[in-house]
Structure 1
Amino acid sequence: MKMKKLTLCMAALCSGYASIASAAISDDVVKIGVLTDVSGTYAGNVGPGSILATRIAVEAFGGKVLGKPIEVITADHLNKADVGSAKARQWLDRENVDVITELGNSAVALSVMNLAKDKNKMTIVTGAGASRITGKDCSPTNLMWVYDTYALAKVGTVPLVQDGAKKWYFLTADYSFGHALESDGQRFIKESGGQVIGSTRYPFPGNDFSSFLLTAQQSQADAVAFASAGADLQNEIKQANEFGLTASQKIVAMLMSITDVHGVGLQAAQGMNFAETFYWNMDDETRQFSSRFYKEMKKMPTALQAGQYSAVLNYLRAVEKANSDEVSDVIDALKNMKIHDAFARNASLREDGKLIHDVYLVSVKKPEESTKPWDYYNIEKTVAGVDAFNPLSESECPLIKGSK
């Protein structure tokens, strides 16, 4: 009887050793590369905050996965695709980076994710939003975590058209993300019964928007949509107030973050509606993460920074579940596990690599409605991911077409 018990114990012990031995962690370290805009127009929305969010996720996970250390390295892509690609190539070829994340510029994201695909390495886009990332340019080794221009445009325009804003004018940043925001916005405006009576594209990044704003004002559109982001958007809103557009036309941000509202102030931003994917003061989970973030950054996280936290945390969970950091194993694990955290609600990962989750229509509070610092939003409507994001039946992703 004792011999039988000893045999069973030895078998269990050996099984435990076999499990540890079978863990396939390349180079005995899981290395995460955060390639972001540290110094440019999007630095406030991503940049240092996304780097911090990555470190918070690693900290929350425990600092190791499958007994191996987790290392985070960072770089500034300067909003240039060639700079981003060069850094990504260095990371993948010489520094054994397992996953490149953030990529807060659509041109950079498209360039880096295609490079990573050729090398069978993983990318997770949390800061870029061009729909083609999981559309015609989708990749089997890439995931898109936070938002895309389809969801932003649909949630951010349709309710306003239905409320009476029938004629629209676009002021658009002249690069891939701005083009995608405008294109998707025009589609939903027209489909919901509105019309686009004009548009202007300005060289990105911009500074003086006076001539463009005067043209938009003279169009007599009901709504003027800014298809831009970051510092450009903040300058547009400030100058729109100076020129008096807000007195006669509705100013709509196709993409806006809480740091943009903070930057321009409630007086200038009050009443604006836009689509959001995260708000720090929504519930206990959002407040807990945001409090940890605020402790170091002295500001509340944007949706993109919260999404970066979520993406990294769930990547590590998937490595643990897959018992491997091999790309296909990790992606399979992500597609078959529950995804829920401070950012992701009612979330699931789709075949095209897109995370489907709740999206919110928010309005900016009036100054007198705000009761404490960073108390800026009213959540007007929660839109389920299946209603906010494009259906697979409309997808141009070859991965979807190939599976049918």
Structure 2
Amino acid sequence: MRNKLIASMAMVLASSTAAFAEPSDGKVKIGILNDQSGVYADFGGKFSYEAAKMAVEDYGGKVLGVPVEVVTADHQNKPDIASNIARQWYDTEQVDTIMELTTSSVGLAVQALSNEKKKITINTGAASTDLTGKQCTPYGFHWVYDTHALAVGTGGAIVEQGGDSWFFLTADYAFGYSLEENTANFVKEKGGKVLGAVRHPLATTDYSSFLLQAQSSGAKVIGLANAGMDTQNAIKQAAEFGIVQGGQRLAALLFTLAEVHGLGLEAAQGLTLTEAFYWNRDDESRAFGKRFFERTGAMPNMVHAGTYSAVTSYLKAVEAAGTDETEAVSAKLHELPINDVFAKGGKVAANGRMIHDVYLMEVKKPGESDVAWDYYNVLSTIPGDVAFMDPAKSGCPLVK
């Protein structure tokens, strides 16, 4: 009788464990939401979607015995459009998590909505430190880079090289404000001065008046607190005004491999920038880059590699939790170390910030590039604890 009771209890336990281990709707669904038609289309866009699909394929296409599906949409850099898409995904399309979220205003809006819906976001494309600062949530994660890391890397390097007076050309939305503020604070801490700033609309095409103000300021450094095509166009038009030839220096505060490729080495050579990934850094990154290029025709930047890492880490967390239930998966994302092609020894802090090393790069001269897409010299490695803000000082109410 006792043996039958034990056997019966074991069967009940096995049955309940199996039910717990299977995701609620028989699948795991990941949404990649980003700009696919505007100024950040190459920065993330369709390439991040491919990186996400690549991660799922490398994981085996399943987790906990159910299929993993990736969907994508273009938010057009508009928070209201992004929020509507996210709401539809959660309410009617059984999306479990949303990732990428290029454009800080979009990232903040979708993270807030996801908190209401008790859904996980892993932001790989936006930059604002508010994502893990005053607007942090229990289910929001910031994975790749942020404005603090960019300020420490690019801003710090240029100040140390004598660039101690700055004027900012700033994208007129949350990302630009955050990047300008973080860099300005860092410049001042290093003994430098900020002589002024001017803000331009997202996706503007004429930088003439903004560049003339920057030129007339007499600042040694013009900090471009923008990204994507905005930065490319500003650099091109600065060349027409002879700004660099006149002795001022341009600081591309957020510039990635995709933008260097779009601008070309002739125009981009000598730029100092900060990225969290470079495909030609070691054998593992080169193998990843080759596979990525075969399916996209482009080499990955940090956003693409970071999206691959985020998807992989999410699937590992689901597997470790034995469920796709948000609280359990979020806890595992905080617990599990990150060791993949993007980050080694990465760790998630209490505010959701993933801490990992980033790299200070210099764009090569055309004659220094040995193969296609070989654009960087790695100047130094910036340890994660230096690059990213101390969580205790972030302003996140979750950090005790």
TM-score by length of 2: 0.95
Counterpart for residue 395 of structure 1: 394
Tell me whether 1:112 sits opposite 2:107 in the alignment. no
Match of 1:238 among 236, 239, 255: 236
Gapped runs of 5+ residues in structure 2?
none
Counterpart for residue 313 of structure 1: 312
What does 1:4-403 align with in structure 2 at a 5 Å threshold? 19-247=17-245, 248-400=247-399
The DSSP-based 3-state class of the residue aligned with 1:381 is strand
Q: How far did residue 345 of structure 1 move?
A: 2.3
Give CA deviations for 1:242-276 in whole Å, capped at 9, x if unaligned. Answer: 21112211111110010111111111111111111
In 2: Cα distance, 1:297 partner to 1:359 partner = 24
Q: How far did residue 24 of structure 1 move?
A: 4.1
In 1: Cα distance, 2:148 partner to 2:317 partner = 27
Whether the 8 Å contact between 2:337 and 2:345 is mirrored in structure 1 is no
Whether the 8 Å contact between 2:97 and 2:121 is mirrored in structure 1 is yes
In 2: Cα distance, 1:82 partner to 1:334 partner = 28
Q: How far did residue 20 of structure 1 move?
A: 3.2
Q: How far did residue 205 of structure 1 move?
A: 1.7
Residue type matched to 1:368 in 2?
G
Give CA deviations for 1:259-317 in whole Å, capped at 9, x if unaligned. Answer: 11111111111111111111011112211221111012111011111110100011001
In 1: Cα distance, 2:257 partner to 2:7 partner = 56
Divergent runs of 4+, >2 A: 8-22
Q: 1:16 to 1:62 in 2, by over 3 A?
A: farther
Residue type matched to 2:379 in 1?
E
The DSSP-based 3-state class of the residue aligned with 1:339 is coil
Q: How far did residue 393 of structure 1 move?
A: 2.8
Whether the 8 Å contact between 1:226 and 1:254 is mirrored in structure 2 is yes
The DSSP-based 3-state class of the residue aligned with 1:185 is helix
Whether the 8 Å contact between 2:22 and 2:64 is mirrored in structure 1 is no
In 2: Cα distance, 1:202 partner to 1:65 partner = 45
Give CA deviations for 1:68-110 in whole Å, capped at 9, x if unaligned. Answer: 0111111110100000000111111111110011111111111
In 1: Cα distance, 2:285 partner to 2:330 partner = 26
The DSSP-based 3-state class of the residue aligned with 2:137 is coil
In 2: Cα distance, 1:73 partner to 1:372 partner = 34
Whether the 8 Å contact between 1:53 and 1:309 is mirrored in structure 2 is yes
Residue type matched to 1:338 in 2?
P
Residue type matched to 1:121 in 2?
K
Q: How far did residue 165 of structure 1 move?
A: 0.8
Q: 1:383 to 1:26 in 2, by over 3 A?
A: same
Give CA deviations for 1:205-259 in whole Å, capped at 9, x if unaligned. Answer: 2111122112211222111110000111100111111211122111111100101
Whether the 8 Å contact between 2:36 and 2:74 is mirrored in structure 1 is yes
Give CA deviations for 1:103-124 in whole Å, capped at 9, x if unaligned. Answer: 1111111111111111111111
In 2: Cα distance, 1:243 partner to 1:16 partner = 72
The DSSP-based 3-state class of the residue aligned with 1:380 is strand
Q: How far did residue 338 of structure 1 move?
A: 2.1
Residue type matched to 2:110 in 1?
V
Q: CA RMSD for the aligned pairs?
A: 1.9
In 2: Cα distance, 1:16 partner to 1:290 partner = 43
Q: How many residues align?
A: 396
The DSSP-based 3-state class of the residue aligned with 2:94 is coil
In 2: Cα distance, 1:32 partner to 1:224 partner = 39
The DSSP-based 3-state class of the residue aligned with 1:399 is coil
In 2: Cα distance, 1:298 partner to 1:223 partner = 35
In 2: Cα distance, 1:80 partner to 1:18 partner = 44
In 1: Cα distance, 2:101 partner to 2:119 partner = 15
Q: How far did residue 392 of structure 1 move?
A: 2.2
The DSSP-based 3-state class of the residue aligned with 1:256 is coil
Residue type matched to 1:282 in 2?
R
Whether the 8 Å contact between 1:105 and 1:128 is mirrored in structure 2 is yes
The DSSP-based 3-state class of the residue aligned with 2:278 is coil
Q: How far did residue 10 of structure 1 move?
A: 11
In 2: Cα distance, 1:96 partner to 1:260 partner = 35
Residue type matched to 1:139 in 2?
T
Q: How far did residue 13 of structure 1 move?
A: 9.3
TM-score by length of 1: 0.94
In 1: Cα distance, 2:120 partner to 2:333 partner = 13
In 1: Cα distance, 2:49 partner to 2:11 partner = 40
Give CA deviations for 1:8-37 in whole Å, capped at 9, x if unaligned. Answer: 999999987664333041201101111111
